[in-house]
Structure 1
Amino acid sequence: MAIKTRKYSIDGKREMTIDEFKRWLKKFDSDKDGRISRDELADAIRVTSGGWFTKRKSKHIIRSADGNGNGFIDDNEIINLAEFAEKHLNVRILYL
């Protein structure tokens, strides 16, 4: 379930809208509670990066994206995660 898009920018980054990013991320919501847990995020990052990120790194990522500190990424915190994806997962998020 790598991040798949048909659009690439000049610098080779995959382009996707924030809505496409949300839909991709929700595929990892295994318990369908509408939030992404630390383990679900670790699975998403592992799949996307080819196993490059460790579980410890995933914990750090969710802490930095989890604005209210409840251990989950919800709809209000997706933007924080999108910023991480732009920096570390070779993705450009388009805010249309």
Structure 2
Amino acid sequence: MAIKTYKSISRDGKRIMTMDEFKQWLKKFDTDNDGRISKEELRNAIYESGGRFARWKSRRAIKSADADGSGFIDENEITNLVDFAEKYLAISVIYI
């Protein structure tokens, strides 16, 4: 089954994804398959999707989304990362 991402582009240039598509997009970058996203994995996701300032954005995203201070984004913190992605990564996540 192919992962369908970047469903469409909004008028303001943001990529529109469902929450499931966003989770699948992140999962592609979970290189150690531990179910969590590290700062390095997030940096790769930002860089490979054409984002600028990937190192800064990944540090900032972990800091803002990591509620338990573990240094990783886990399943329970994904919604915190969505807020960051909408503000800094030109991604709009829709809930269906």
Which TM-score applies when normalising by structure 1? 0.84
Tell me how many residue pairs correspond in the alignment: 93
SS in 2 for 1:59: helix
Write out the 4+ residue segments of structure 1 that deviate beyond 3 Å after TM superposition: none
Task: Tell me, yes or no, if the aligned pair for 2:44 and 2:54 is still in contact at 8 Å.
Answer: no
State the Cα distance separating 1:41 from its structure 2 match.
Answer: 1.0
Q: Provide the identity percentage.
A: 55
Structure 1 gap ranges (5+): none
Alignment RMSD, CA only?
1.9
State the Cα distance separating 1:42 from its structure 2 match.
Answer: 1.2
Deviations 1:47-68 (A, max 9, x none): 2244x12424422220111010
Q: 1:57 to 1:91 in 2, by over 3 A?
A: closer
Q: Which amino acid aligns with 1:90?
A: A
Task: Tell me, yes or no, if the aligned pair for 1:62 and 1:71 is still in contact at 8 Å.
Answer: yes
Structure 2 gap ranges (5+): none
Which range moved further: 79-88 or 66-75?
Answer: 79-88
